[in-house]
Structure 1
Amino acid sequence: MSLGSAYAQSDSLRTLDRQLSRYSQQRLPEKLFLHVDRPFYVSGEIMWFKVYAVDGVLHKPLTTSKVAYVELLDKEQKPVLQGKIALQNAAGQGTFVLPKSLASGTYTVRAYTNWMKNFPPEYYFHSTITVVNTFGSVTKATPDQTATGIDAQFFPEGGHLVKGLTSTVAFKINDQHNQGVAASGIIVDQRGQNVAQFSTLKFGLGSFSFTPTEAGATYSAIIQLPNRQTLTRKLPAVQEQGYVLHLAPTADGLTITVQTPTPAEAADDILLLGHARQQPFVAVMGRFRDNKAVFTINKKDLPEGIAHFTVFNAARKPLCERLYFTPPAQQLAIQASINKQEYAPREKVSLQLATAGPGAQPLAASASVAVYRLDSLSTASGASINSYLWLASDLKGHLENPDYYFSANSPEVAQAADNLMLTQGWSRFRWDEVQTAPRPAPTFYPETSGHWIQGKLTHRGTGQAAPGIPVYLASPSRQPRLYSSISQPDGRLQFDLRDYYGPKEIVVQTNTQVDSTYQVEIYSPFSTAFAPTRHTALQLPESLRPELAQRHLQAQVQTAYFKKFTNQYTLPQTDSLPFYGKPDERYLLDAYTRFKVMEEVMREYVPGVLVRIRKGQFHFQVIDHLNNVPMTDDPLVVLDGVPIFNTNKVIALDPLKIQKLDVITSRYFHGRQIHQGLVSYSTYKGDLGSYKLDAHALLQEYEGLQLQREFYAPRYDTPQAQQSRLPDFRNLLYWNPQVTTSAAATDLTFYTADLPGRYVVVVQGMAANGLAGSHRIFLQVKSAL
């Protein structure tokens, strides 16, 4: 019987990799990357960005979601700017105008899709920018002479310290600005005896080995800081029983060793499961010998990127976990060249771009290009798409200079990457979710066709959910748009909006002729979950005052002379037809003798709609053109797209404010609703004229998808333009989020401004096969003679 139980346990363990595969299929991860034009702004400037959408497994462009949500968060995690960005072919673009009232500080830019809201907020894209309000005073920073702002954390490899077992312990030491601090120190036991020494390797990260000899004993780290002050921190508690995992790279791959001091725990089989981006790549059963189990992973089996190794016991409980990083062997090679290295003010710059894949073969890619001036304020570089997708997006918390881990194939870089894996490991899922069957349906679904407006329908008096009720959403305009939804059992509503751009008013209502006791609430589509961040007050040294004064002048000059050019938008290509398409009958009322009463208009000019009075109430009957007989029920009647359910109110409309009348003379299907024809009135301005909405209708301002702002830069291609007296103090010379490379080199041109200095050209790009890359080159603008 015990033998049968052991086999059952082993078989149960072997199913874990299949369960993970099924989980990944049902919870396919998405990733977003934002190329933000610059790292530093002054209040009043425009922030430009491009969104790249990829699947989280293969990092190939993913076209599933059609909307990305982008936010700018302050240090209190409160959104100060929000935008809904349309995604086409797995890419989108947008802008934020940073208000002149925006306070100086470090702000978080985050982005996600509706589907990504099913996962922890750490999974959203995050980056930081600095904004300075130059109308305020410069805060002088005083060097921190104390250890108050220093944070030190220690992480045993695999998760635990166990009595009598040697463990590798990683650590990270950060300052108040979340930057690594170079330090060294010793580990002492509770009697003050030195048991280990350590020092940081890179970015405040490091590791050391030691063997705890007593369970429950207190071990402490005494850290020597650069300012010769010391900091003491306790190590995690030592357990009497448990497991210790150790990963060691070899010439052929990896060796993973699991140890336990307890013979009873060593009697069971264990499973080593390796997965990368939720895809299992190895599942090996193991057995302890002398309280030790050893696994060997071949190098050819290791996936690129971050691999998770998790050890399970016979009860399918995860015992310990370890991460390992393998840099990707291939990336998108971007070649960028300019026609010379030094330019005069207002001179034309010719930029050539070419992208290639393995073997230097030309490879088409979608790219974005930013060119901005470098100064003492813009020294920080933004994230590169390759390091973000392969590294930063799969780690929790702030990552200092992720590009370093791709810089060279050297032992120091490899050790630094391993220290990073030991200190910032993270998994997007919990193993109990993987093993749960059946799994609950996700809360959020991908917006595959356009933006969704979601809400809830309740009974006005009780607040209880109202299921199975048709609800209509309209946005009054000259191009009528009407959307409908039927409330779910829990009262949820979902309206699938297409071609909805910019701020507009929406009207949401039920059929008040049937029941007026319902109340509608519209939800915000932005996530209310936030990843923990650590922002300190922005402090700028007095030495930066000249640079800040220059940036202030630049921003004011640009606002004064070029603001009218920065508020131009590319109108989206939308359907010019109303929501019901081409009508069967159309009446332009200006072509007829004008009547002052709508009843006369309907009776005299619209033979396809009969006007009837029953019990003192007006009713319309549309004549079915197929059978030439009137349909029995009232049609759907709309004014500028807004349904009117009481025909008496239609008759009361002022016909002099109505421009045209459309009629559908057959059954009209709208969503899951079937109507006996349709009658649509349109006012001259698309503003409902003098019609007053029903008191039970919800009228709300709602921001749709963001319109695409056109980037403006002056061109000095004529002598008159060259000699213009308008000052050109642009900090951002060029921004183009829609560059498409091909087999031949792509030529781009722009002009320098009046400000001399060093400028950087930043290119980010991605090919259809998932290869991503970035590149930087520099140019110099000399002073005018």
Structure 2
Amino acid sequence: MKRLFIIFILLSIQISLHAKENHRLFLEKIHLHTNKSIFIAGEPLWFKAYCINLGNNLLSKQSNVAYIELINKDGIPVSKESVILKNGMGEGGFVTNKDLPTGNYSLNAYTHWSNSFSKELITVVPIYIFNNNTTSKPPLKNSQHEVIITPLKSNSWTALDSISNQDIKIEAQVEDLERILSLQFTIPQANEQSQSEFELILRSQRDSIHSKFRFSDGKWTKKIKINSLKGEIYSFHLLNKQGEKIAEHTLFLRKLWNTTPIEKARIVLGPRKNTKIELNYNDYSNFGDTLFLSASLRKKEPVKSRVDFINFLNFYKYFDHNANLFEPSVVQSLNRVCFSSSIALYRKILTDKHQVSNDKYIEKDNFILECKIISPDTKNALSDHEILMTKTGEYADLQSQYTNTQGKCYFRLPLQSGLHDIALQLINTDTIKYNFILKDKFNKSGVNLNKPIFNINNAENLKFVKEQWENYKVREIYNQIDFAPNKDTTIYRAQSNFFGKPKIKVVIDDYVRLDSLPEYFHELISHVRIKYNKKKSNIFVYNDDQLKQMPYEALFLFDGLVFSNPNEILSMNPRDIDRIEVVPYEYLYSDSHFYGITHIISKKKNCEIQQLPFNTERYYLPLFTKECKQINKPNILDGYPDFRTDILWQPKLVLSKNRNIELEFTSSDIIGDYELVIEGISNTGKPFVLSQDILVK
């Protein structure tokens, strides 16, 4: 018995710990796979978003909404798209505006949950857009040097280039069975700096090493026991006596993932050649049971600027792309948001998944609509007041929230693409007009690195964009476009009543036509009493449970919208009304107490009225709408050449035991080198990157 009792206690502790683990709220960061990095203004930009849980390195199951922005050189978003994430993944795209000037742009990707904690968690992907229709000044030379990421290999010296003219040779090596990090510095003795003092700084998120030294016979070596180092990734700075940086690098000592990109053998195709490339699960079963992938095939770009999934998980998932990552202020910020034991700092549990009390929240099962109520005269926020969000239509879907001290309240909308027909209503304020301010979930300004990822003054680069531009213009002329505008005009309304099935329902066409709506209440619905007070009608409902009329007015709805004065509705022609529904008892819903409910539904079911109730704003709110859709097979007429340079984009690929992948495409008439890139992540969190060169000749 004692043994069974001990086992029971241990199981209880394990279950308790498991429950606590499930309640941890981890931060997230998004990896973007784009169809390419160099675009012609007017071309579509396609992306696949992988949302990574920073606590366990797996696809995140927390946030189901991602925000993607295209940022210009001034940090202003020029295109925006919100994406529904399913199992941590989502895809989308937008058309780059034909009026965008030539230059460096950046994609910003984030979830609201991580963005509300730190802008450092925004993923920034640099791209280049070329536009021959606009004139712009040559790009300025970037004065900030970029961090060079250098993975160190055992028993081989890796040269680290200087960023100044100090003529110092720097080499790094991991030696003695990966137990010693050796840094070797060499300077010509004739150099006037050879007798000066220098400082070496190695810094990670957990520790730092500072060493001041002078060269001896033009050499100096620093050996560090790797076991004494607490970090896996270190910034490397070499400073001269004046404090100027001579070299700056980032060193991988121990990678989270030692996986390397898979490079398949180059293949040669002729123009208009139909080809199939297969991925067999047995060849990649060591990655996991299931791999979630995306694939792009396009003209090979002369520069490689993108960060693949492996490097993202090894480095960029923790840091942004700036060179000052290891400055104390940034380190302190990152320590707050993602560097601690298992990165799970935020254990405030949302006890009710429907309740949101502040700006830090996870959009998991719903899109969260933020609203702020202010006085237009004083600009003061209206706090501790009830706000209703209603959905107009055949069914009544009502949410009730109270504003917090900042005048904010938060409502839930389903993760459905389309136009959401909603109304926000301020209750019991018939004299003072207030303004409703809906928060734009996208950032007002974004992050553009302005890194010169593509130097157009280079002859090879200029030739590449010139050919891309000419091919794009020819495709326009012959209508060989691989995308089409997408106008999502679906109206999304409520699917059921918040009060369930009404006890009383009167369908107007089932009865003899009466002259007015009040007559239907008087003749057919005895539970409802209409009392007239000056210019206002008051609706009261007889309570079936208490066998008496309830003391306060009932909730009155028309096509889902709440009316405190139903005069306009009661004066409608009964021919325009479909039915009347009544709930003849007290109804508690959230924090609201209704003394009966009366709902009138029109035949059009779209709440057509001349004037909205006081302090009511109605919106057709677009959520997750796509501005363009992909055309897999552009219209290429017989006898006309095929000018495509973007051959394939497939963002939803799955490789598993029971499912291999077969990529089928047809090469175009544009000869040259193409590159196939397939990347993604397994169910175990292991990154996958595969590339293959394809020559069309």
Moved more, 766-775 or 505-514: 505-514
Q: Which among 72, 76, 79 is matched to residue 78 of structure 1?
A: 76
Listed as ranges, the matches of 1:306-321 within 5 Å are 306=233
Deviation at 1:577, TM superposition (A): 3.1
Q: Check if 1:739 corresponds to 2:653.
A: yes
Secondary structure of the residue aligned to 2:168 is strand
Could you say which residue in structure 1 is the equivalent of 2:519? 600
Q: Which among 443, 465, 469 is matched to residue 548 of structure 1?
A: 469
Deviation at 1:127, TM superposition (A): 0.3
Secondary structure of the residue aligned to 1:371 is strand
Secondary structure of the residue aligned to 1:394 is coil
Deviation at 1:132, TM superposition (A): 2.6
Q: Which among 135, 140, 165 is matched to residue 185 of structure 1?
A: 165
Please tell me whether the aligned partners of residues 586 and 593 of structure 2 are also in contact (alpha carbons under 8 angstroms): yes
**Counterparts in 2 of 1:608 and 1:766: CA distance versus 1, 3 Å:** farther
Instruction: Letter of the 1:42 partner, please give it.
Output: I
Moved more, 361-370 or 50-59: 361-370
Unaligned runs of 5+ in 2: 1-19, 149-159, 173-182, 214-222, 237-248, 349-356
Q: Which among 255, 260, 264 is matched to residue 328 of structure 1?
A: 255
Deviation at 1:375, TM superposition (A): 5.7
Deviation at 1:633, TM superposition (A): 2.8
C-alpha distance after superposition, 1:747-776 (max 9, x if no partner): 334331543334322212112221112111
Q: Check if 1:774 corresponds to 2:689.
A: yes
Deviation at 1:779, TM superposition (A): 3.3
Could you say which residue in structure 2 is the equivalent of 1:759? 674
**Counterparts in 2 of 1:571 and 1:709: CA distance versus 1, 3 Å:** farther
Could you say which residue in structure 1 is the equivalent of 2:244? none
Secondary structure of the residue aligned to 1:44 is coil
- Looking at structure 2, the residues matched to 630 and 469 of structure 1 have their Cα atoms a distance apart, in angstroms, of 28
**Counterparts in 2 of 1:759 and 1:248: CA distance versus 1, 3 Å:** closer
- Looking at structure 2, the residues matched to 336 and 323 of structure 1 have their Cα atoms a distance apart, in angstroms, of 25
Secondary structure of the residue aligned to 1:677 is strand
- Looking at structure 2, the residues matched to 765 and 154 of structure 1 have their Cα atoms a distance apart, in angstroms, of 25
Please tell me whether the aligned partners of residues 278 and 662 of structure 2 are also in contact (alpha carbons under 8 angstroms): yes
Please tell me whether the aligned partners of residues 32 and 50 of structure 2 are also in contact (alpha carbons under 8 angstroms): yes
Instruction: Letter of the 2:388 partner, please give it.
Output: Y
**Counterparts in 2 of 1:580 and 1:708: CA distance versus 1, 3 Å:** farther
Secondary structure of the residue aligned to 2:99 is coil
**Counterparts in 2 of 1:775 and 1:477: CA distance versus 1, 3 Å:** farther
Q: Check if 1:493 corresponds to 2:412.
A: no
- Looking at structure 1, the residues matched to 203 and 539 of structure 2 have their Cα atoms a distance apart, in angstroms, of 81
C-alpha distance after superposition, 1:215-261 (max 9, x if no partner): xxxx9999xxxxxxxxxxxx9x99xxxxx886699xxxx99866799
- Looking at structure 2, the residues matched to 611 and 47 of structure 1 have their Cα atoms a distance apart, in angstroms, of 59
Could you say which residue in structure 2 is the equivalent of 1:54? 52
Deviation at 1:641, TM superposition (A): 2.9
**Counterparts in 2 of 1:529 and 1:546: CA distance versus 1, 3 Å:** closer
- Looking at structure 1, the residues matched to 449 and 482 of structure 2 have their Cα atoms a distance apart, in angstroms, of 37
Secondary structure of the residue aligned to 1:51 is strand
- Looking at structure 2, the residues matched to 687 and 745 of structure 1 have their Cα atoms a distance apart, in angstroms, of 46
- Looking at structure 2, the residues matched to 83 and 109 of structure 1 have their Cα atoms a distance apart, in angstroms, of 11
**Counterparts in 2 of 1:489 and 1:360: CA distance versus 1, 3 Å:** closer
Listed as ranges, the matches of 1:329-408 within 5 Å are 330=257, 341-342=268-269, 344-345=271-272, 347-352=274-279, 354=281, 360=286, 362-374=288-300, 379-380=303-304, 382-398=306-322
Please tell me whether the aligned partners of residues 454 and 523 of structure 1 are also in contact (alpha carbons under 8 angstroms): yes
- Looking at structure 2, the residues matched to 259 and 375 of structure 1 have their Cα atoms a distance apart, in angstroms, of 42
Deviation at 1:510, TM superposition (A): 0.4
- Looking at structure 2, the residues matched to 327 and 487 of structure 1 have their Cα atoms a distance apart, in angstroms, of 49
Aligned residues: 611
- Looking at structure 2, the residues matched to 606 and 552 of structure 1 have their Cα atoms a distance apart, in angstroms, of 68
Deviation at 1:100, TM superposition (A): 2.8
Listed as ranges, the matches of 1:447-458 within 5 Å are 447-458=363-374
- Looking at structure 1, the residues matched to 235 and 621 of structure 2 have their Cα atoms a distance apart, in angstroms, of 43
Could you say which residue in structure 2 is the equivalent of 1:620? 539
**Counterparts in 2 of 1:370 and 1:688: CA distance versus 1, 3 Å:** same
Q: Which among 227, 232, 254 is matched to residue 298 of structure 1?
A: 227
Please tell me whether the aligned partners of residues 483 and 630 of structure 2 are also in contact (alpha carbons under 8 angstroms): no
- Looking at structure 1, the residues matched to 638 and 279 of structure 2 have their Cα atoms a distance apart, in angstroms, of 28
Please tell me whether the aligned partners of residues 84 and 705 of structure 1 are also in contact (alpha carbons under 8 angstroms): yes
- Looking at structure 2, the residues matched to 641 and 365 of structure 1 have their Cα atoms a distance apart, in angstroms, of 45
Please tell me whether the aligned partners of residues 255 and 297 of structure 1 are also in contact (alpha carbons under 8 angstroms): no
Could you say which residue in structure 2 is the equivalent of 1:427? 331
- Looking at structure 2, the residues matched to 665 and 606 of structure 1 have their Cα atoms a distance apart, in angstroms, of 10
**Counterparts in 2 of 1:154 and 1:119: CA distance versus 1, 3 Å:** same
Deviation at 1:362, TM superposition (A): 5.0
Please tell me whether the aligned partners of residues 386 and 400 of structure 2 are also in contact (alpha carbons under 8 angstroms): yes
Secondary structure of the residue aligned to 2:593 is strand
Please tell me whether the aligned partners of residues 73 and 104 of structure 2 are also in contact (alpha carbons under 8 angstroms): yes
**Counterparts in 2 of 1:704 and 1:477: CA distance versus 1, 3 Å:** farther
Could you say which residue in structure 1 is the equivalent of 2:400? 484
Deviation at 1:394, TM superposition (A): 2.8
Deviation at 1:74, TM superposition (A): 0.7
Deviation at 1:727, TM superposition (A): 6.9
Q: Which has the higher contact order (CA 8 A, sep 6+)?
A: 2
- Looking at structure 1, the residues matched to 586 and 283 of structure 2 have their Cα atoms a distance apart, in angstroms, of 56
Could you say which residue in structure 1 is the equivalent of 2:14? none
Q: Which among 83, 89, 92 is matched to residue 91 of structure 1?
A: 89
The percentage of aligned residue pairs carrying the same residue is: 18
Instruction: Letter of the 1:527 partner, please give it.
Output: N
Secondary structure of the residue aligned to 2:165 is strand
- Looking at structure 2, the residues matched to 449 and 643 of structure 1 have their Cα atoms a distance apart, in angstroms, of 26
- Looking at structure 1, the residues matched to 468 and 35 of structure 2 have their Cα atoms a distance apart, in angstroms, of 19
Deviation at 1:581, TM superposition (A): 4.8
**Counterparts in 2 of 1:460 and 1:570: CA distance versus 1, 3 Å:** closer
**Counterparts in 2 of 1:575 and 1:519: CA distance versus 1, 3 Å:** closer
- Looking at structure 1, the residues matched to 589 and 145 of structure 2 have their Cα atoms a distance apart, in angstroms, of 61
**Counterparts in 2 of 1:773 and 1:467: CA distance versus 1, 3 Å:** same
Please tell me whether the aligned partners of residues 733 and 752 of structure 1 are also in contact (alpha carbons under 8 angstroms): yes
Could you say which residue in structure 2 is the equivalent of 1:198? 168
C-alpha distance after superposition, 1:145-186 (max 9, x if no partner): xxx75556999xxxxxxxxxxxxxx9974xxxxxxxxxx522
Could you say which residue in structure 2 is the equivalent of 1:264? none
- Looking at structure 2, the residues matched to 516 and 445 of structure 1 have their Cα atoms a distance apart, in angstroms, of 31
Could you say which residue in structure 2 is the equivalent of 1:464? 380
Listed as ranges, the matches of 1:686-697 within 5 Å are 686-697=605-616
Please tell me whether the aligned partners of residues 306 and 324 of structure 1 are also in contact (alpha carbons under 8 angstroms): yes
Q: Which among 41, 44, 48 is matched to residue 39 of structure 2?
A: 41
The alignment's TM-score, normalised by the length of structure 2, stands at: 0.72
Moved more, 335-344 or 586-595: 335-344
**Counterparts in 2 of 1:352 and 1:623: CA distance versus 1, 3 Å:** farther
Listed as ranges, the matches of 1:140-159 within 5 Å are 150-151=143-144
**Counterparts in 2 of 1:635 and 1:382: CA distance versus 1, 3 Å:** farther
Please tell me whether the aligned partners of residues 30 and 54 of structure 1 are also in contact (alpha carbons under 8 angstroms): yes
C-alpha distance after superposition, 1:309-341 (max 9, x if no partner): 9xxxxxxxxxxxx98633436467887989975
